[in-house]
Amino acid sequence: MLGNFQQSHLRIEVNSPAAVIGDSLLRPSQLSQWLWPQRLSAGLPEQLSEGLTYTSWVGPVAIQHQVEVAQPHCLRLLLSQGIDGYHEWYWGEHWVQSRLEGVSLLSLSLGQTLSLLRLREFLASRSKG
């Protein structure tokens, strides 16, 4: 894989309970709403589960995701193709933490920061509705 080894760890506060955060991360129908501009492959199940493999795209770059862990407060994805590495999510009452490591030509820390900001916006809009 061409690219640089990168790692980024971010944690943010959100105004949402852990169950709502978990739904936003584990349910593809919700995940696809805030993960823009990243697109998810069609035909995903209602909820991510261990062993599931799916593809997402950032523009023309495909990223394969294999769900290694999918639990009420943790999601771990093994990544290949556009990013060779992993992405871990942890969450609890009013906080979300993301850890991303891998080799890629993409700017992982920039993408991770934008994703967390979009997630925060999505969660804020859900709490108002």
- pLDDT of 128 reads 72
Which runs of E-coded beta strand occur in 33-121?
39-40, 53-58, 61-71, 74-81, 84-92, 95-104
pTM check: above 0.85: yes
Inter-residue contact 64 to 80 (CB < 8 Å): yes
Render each residue's pLDDT in the chain as its tens digit; 129 residues: 678 999 999 999 999 999 999 999 999 999 999 998 889 999 999 999 999 999 999 989 999 999 999 999 999 999 999 999 999 999 999 999 999 999 999 899 998 999 999 999 999 998 775
Phi and psi at residue 84, in whole multiples of 5°? -105, 105
What CATH number did the domain enclosing 89 receive?
3.30.530.20
| Structural domains in the chain (count) | 1
**What is the domain extent for residue 114?**
4-128
Q: What is the pLDDT of residue 9?
A: 96
Which pLDDT score is estimated for 14?
A: 95
| Cα–Cα distance for residue pair 53/65, rounded to 1 Å | 6
